[in-house]
Amino acid sequence: MVFGAYYLTLAVEGAKGSGRAFRHSYEVQAAFDVGDIDLHASITLRPLPGSSLARRLEAAGTVAEGEASSRSRPPRAASSSTRRSPRGSAT
């Protein structure tokens, strides 16, 4: 499984579709399905500001180069009221 995860993250110079930019994850999937981009192509994903994809990427701490906004912050730690002890009771 480790080798599979490593393989999926390899970027190959000159792969078909390298350098393309997409706004939605479904556009990436469609381009891959029809063979416009290879699995190892380096692409850019620029979600629309305020979209659910942009919010998920922000929550994960992923910010595209040159597209940092004032809303981009590292993910917040869970508040003390939502943390759980190893036994499952609230602390």
pLDDT, mean of residues 29-50: 91
pLDDT, mean of residues 26-33: 93
Could you give the maximum distance between any two Cα atoms of the chain, in Å? Answer: 52
Q: Taking all residues of the chain, what is their mean pLDDT, rounded to a whole number? A: 74
4-8 long-range contacts, Cβ below 8 Å, gap at least 24? 8/39
Q: Which residue has the higher pLDDT, 86 or 42?
A: 42
Burial of 86 (0-12, 13-18, 19+ CB in 10 A): exposed
pLDDT, mean of residues 11-36: 92
